[in-house]
Amino acid sequence: MALAPTFQLRSGARLPLLGLGTWPLNDDEAAATVERAISAGYRLIDTAENYRNEKGVGEGVRRSGIPREELFITTKFNREHHSVDGVRRAFETSARLLGVDYVDLLLVHWPNAGQGRHVEAVQGIAALMDEGLVRAIGTSNYKPSHLQDVIDAGIVPDVNQIQLDPQRPRIVDRAFHDEHGIVTESWSPLGQGSGLLDEPAVRGHRGSPWDDSRPGGAALARAAGPRRHPEVLASRAPRAEPRRLRLRALGGGRGKPLPAGEPGGRDRRFGRVRPLTGVAGATRACCPPPP
């Protein structure tokens, strides 16, 4: 059975480069899908408070029989918890539903900067990490200005998740992430109804276009069909450079690689990309509207 490779985050936690996303599965669907995915070799499982399926994800984890310490479980919390005490309450609820004592990566789902508490939300995660309840700090949909606010407060997140696909390469965001050692995760990597899957460079391509368009990237696939789980895990083989160039060209020239970073470490030219593909190949965004 193939397992995805891992790399070490700033916090020291080891993150699998391929994982399973669970939106918009309900509890029953999530339990069955997570169990099958783990049996196929997945070790990174992603959910969120707003997905309303954390209980099902936890059930799938338990059914798998794989020891907790061999899994990397990610969840996210909503805007009403954007305070140090609120983040603790959100964690406690998620941990109870998941049936776990700790979460590997906890993310602020959206900054909701109008509340003025997007920094305090991250501080709440940092407090939990100090207690060993969270192993890595995450943000989602934070722009560079939001991240700078967090950094100015003395915290550098391990991960930031943004909308990212070959047509929206987000060069400025990725450069900021790379400068500060923040891992980039992508949601809706197949274009969210943009016609990306109809592009000649993509048609007939197995796996995510990100496998070719961004060397060193990783993938978070949400495939409910059990036969697709081993297929996605096996789709990491490198493709020819001409195909990579065609996929990068979909971004209108904005997908040029960034300068190489530290030698001998992870591929800092591209950070980490965690595409979220849909059930049976359908493309969906990562989540409902901003919680």
Please identify every residue annotated as catalytic: 51
Written as six digits, the tokens of 272 are 């980490």
19 beta partners: 44, 220
Segments making up each domain of the chain, as ranges: 10-253+267-280
d(CA 47, CA 196): 25
75 beta partners: 106
DSSP string across 7-71: EE-TTSPEEESEEEE-TT--HHHHHHHHHHHHHHT--EEE--GGGT-HHHHHHHHHHH---GGG-
| Domain 10-253+267-280, second-level architecture | Alpha-Beta Barrel (3.20)
Q: How far is CA 64 from CA 43, 57, 58, 67, in A?
A: 11, 11, 10, 9
Give, for all 291 residues of the chain, the pLDDT tens digit: 778 888 889 999 998 887 888 989 999 999 999 999 999 999 999 999 999 999 999 999 999 999 999 999 999 999 999 999 999 999 999 999 999 999 999 999 999 999 999 999 999 999 999 999 999 999 999 999 999 999 999 999 999 988 887 777 889 999 999 999 999 877 766 666 666 556 666 666 555 544 444 433 455 655 555 555 666 565 554 444 554 455 555 555 554 443 333 222 333 323 333 333 322 222 233 455 555
d(CA 194, CA 37): 28
Q: How far is CA 277 from CA 118, 193, 210, 239, in A?
A: 28, 12, 11, 19
